[in-house]
Structure 1
Amino acid sequence: MKSKKWGTMLLAGVLAVSGIFGLAGDKRAEAAASIATSIRKVSVSGRTYSVQTVIVPKGTKAALGLAQGQVGQTQSFASIITSSKATAAINGAFFNSYGGPADPYGTLISKGQIVHTGYYGTSIGFEKDGTVRMDSLRAKITGKVVSRPDKAGKSKTSTWYATFVNRTPEAGQNVVLMYNSARGARVGFSGGTAVTVRQNKVVQKAANANTAIPSDGYVLVYHGSEQNNAGRFEVGSTVEMNIAYQNAANQTIPWDDVVTSVGAGPRLVKDGKVSLDAKGEGFNDPKILTASGARSGIAIMPDGSVMLATIGGATMNQWAQVMQKMGAKQAMNLDGGASSALYANGRVLTGAGRALSNTLVFGQWVSME
């Protein structure tokens, strides 16, 4: 456990002005050359697809590129690339792009910290040493709160849990929400009871009026009927938090050392074979189950390298077959449609049709800490 269509020319101009192409010239050119791009022709179901691919060598740093550096915001693909100094990038998790807060849906880990939780689909995770994992990640956040000693020197211990991390609740929803600095300066809404924790101590409990999030702690918002459980906390109480990483079968999985992760799905390939069960992973949208569309995906190759790929007009079943034919050992789907976007070595290979919430970025200059 662990406590924790912009054109190519336009993008190149933005990056050049910002100094991305001019930093450590020889080393940057060497890094760019090691990330290879190609368009591959793959035939499945009687149709030949042109698949845009990027191969990222094993051990290349991977980080979460959050729009405006926060969860729940949007930003152009070009701007996210510029701010992250990425050599390669692809769009990441599904998010709310049809009005309201642009909250993601999948589990996201950034710099070793959970910055959003989701309870469906498949996730890909990257460790500092280059290890890449893919599983049905379900992060469970629980903890204990110990009251201050009474006059007799006795303390009361209670348990707590968080339903979601950095997500805006729906009206009338009965949930416990945790907000950390990845959300920004404030939780982003009013309502419920907010418990502010700094350095493992409760420093405030009050009605939530867009509560400020401390840089050295987090805020728990008890919403709806869950407000009854906010009584377990009082100012001065000591709070302990634990994170358990499990798969969809509630089995413990070794994700404690993962520093970057994106959850989307469904799974496409497992151990070199097509493995697709979208409904079983919690997907009900026809866009995922039956329709054709633009797709983005990510794969772990047999040699440990990572393949980023985009394709147009494919069903999920066709997408899985394409990934398998391209030699993927493990592969999963990412957000698609207008969100589908791919970049490498100074060029936009697939242009996003809208502003994005989050991306996966790669390069020796991206920050994982």
Structure 2
Amino acid sequence: MTKGSTSSSWTVRLPMMLLTAALLIGITAVPSKEPAQAAGSGIRYAKVNVQAAGRSFAVQTVRIPKGTATAVGLADRQVGHTSSLSSIASAYGAKAAIDGAFFEAYGGPPDPYGTLISGGRLLHIGRYGTTIGFTANGTAMMDTLRMEVTGQVTPQSGRSSGWYAVWFNRTPASTSSTSIVYTPDRGKTTGFQGGIAVTVRNGKVTAKGSNTNTTIPTDGYVIVFTGTMKSSADRFVKGATVSMNKTYTDINGKPIDWSNVVTAVGAGPRLVKDGSIALNAAAEGFQDPKILTASGARSGIAIMADGSVMIATVPGATMKQWAAVMQKLGAKQAMNLDGGASSGMYVNGKVVTSPGRTLSNTLVFGGNRS
């Protein structure tokens, strides 16, 4: 029996009025013995059959009240590791969790691809797709977020110079020319050798040299310049003051106000916008047939009309079908998350959709913010 339940034998049913409405729009509640609701959490699980796009889909859903605490759940609480869905959820004390951003799962370092923000800290930068964000009061928003990180470095005597980061907390290809910021969310060290490392503590350069798996300070960060960008490290001299700024735009370069977002997960593509299907994966930067045309296991997240959130999984659907399912479920805004073997969902102490692999990152609800 799951903690918070009052009986050792029970089923999940939608309230009668909701069930009547569901039947009218092609959604049928299916009895289930999975955990329905944790005491006092307001988080509700249901398994439903949805008639959409000319067929029936068995969908697992979890409804999460507006204002529920959110965080990005990282494997081992570090960017670039993997662990089981249940262990990540347990580590964060989550009441519910779902797989988040796409990540490298085929032989390279298991770094994420999408934008990740947790506890107001930027964990990773993504440059494609759609992102869901949450402010501290639980308000959810969804957009084609594109972030840029720039700054100034000012020596103790001399003029200021600009700098920028291409990535955050990511292992570069051995032949790449790039600039990457490494924060304590990466772990104790950068995790690789190569390039020139600039160590910044409390806003000042404290060290510079070849990156030999450089230690990341708890009160700062490390910037690594590789390839032809190594020369950019020349402007960073010991004692110089370093600033860092973040800007937020949409895919068209229009400024958007995400400065108050404390949690964000980038994946995509967008499925529903303002209640209507709004799917254009290619325009968001997707090229993989697994996203564009193929059918597969899917995970997704929706913002409902009342501001609550719904997370959902389906064992098999094309992206067009998944968009139709999300719309039929009543989503006002909806987007796809990582899927395939990564598709997984956890609620009230139980994995209800089991991933076929360990995960790099998740979106967790309830429990401990991070």
- TM-score between both structures, scaled by the size of structure 1: 0.89
In structure 2, distance between residues paired with 1:269 and 1:43: 17
**Which one of 199, 202, 207 corresponds to residue 199 of structure 1?**
202
Root mean square deviation, CA, Å: 1.3
CA distance in 1, matches of 2:286, 2:105: 17
Matched, 1:116 2:127: no
Matching of residue 135 in structure 1 with residue 143 in structure 2: yes
From 319, 326, 347, the counterpart of 1:344: 347
**Distance in structure 1 (CA, Å) of the matches to 2:242 and 2:349:** 46
Secondary structure of 1:280's counterpart equals helix
Partner of 2:62: 54
In the other structure, the counterpart of 2:24 is: none
Equivalent residue for 2:276?
A: 273
Aligned to 1:83: 91
Please give the alpha-carbon distance, in whole angstroms, between the structure 2 residues aligned to 1:177 and 1:269.
33
The residue aligned with 1:256 is 259
Correspondences of 1:165-176 after superposition (within 5 Å):
165-176=168-179
1:104 to 2:106 alignment:
no
CA distance in 1 between counterparts of 2:54 and 2:252 reads: 36
Aligned equivalent of 1:232: 235
Report deviation, 1:39: 1.2
Tell me what 1:38 maps to. Answer: 46
SS in 2 for 1:248: coil
State how far apart, in whole Å, the 1-side matches of 2:39 and 2:306 are.
20
What amino acid is the match of 1:288? I
Shift of 1:262: 0.4
SS in structure 2 of the partner of residue 355 of structure 1: coil
2:333 aligns to what? 330
Amino acid paired to 1:297: G
Which consecutive unaligned segments of at least 5 residues does structure 1 have? 1-8, 14-27, 150-154
Task: Tell me which amino acid in the other structure corresponds to 2:39.
Answer: E
User: Using the alignment, how far apart are the partners of 1:311 and 1:336 within structure 2?
Assistant: 9
Is the contact between residue 86 and residue 346 of structure 2 (CA under 8 Å) also seen in structure 1? Answer: no
- One-letter amino acid matched to 2:264: S
Q: Closer, same or farther in 2 for the Cα pair 1:157/1:123, shift >3 Å?
A: same
Q: After TM superposition, give the deviation of residue 70 of structure 1 in Å.
A: 0.2
TM-superposed CA distance for 1:146, in Å, is: 0.4
The TM-score normalised by the length of structure 2 is 0.89
Task: State the alpha-carbon separation in 1 of the partners of residues 200 and 40 from structure 2.
Answer: 42
Runs of 4+ in structure 1 deviating by more than 6 angstroms, as ranges, are none
In the TM superposition, what is the alpha-carbon distance from 1:366 to its structure 2 partner?
A: 2.1
SS at match of 2:230: helix
Q: Output the CA distance in 2 between the equivalents of 1:38 and 1:71.
A: 31
Give the superposition deviation at 1:29: 4.3
C-alpha displacement at 1:44, in angstroms?
A: 2.0
| Number of corresponding residues | 337
Note the residue ranges of structure 2 that are not aligned, 5 or more in a row.
4-36
Query: 1:146 aligns to what?
Result: 154
* Contact 2:101–2:113, Cα closer than 8 Å, also in 1: yes
The amino acid of 1:205's aligned partner reads K
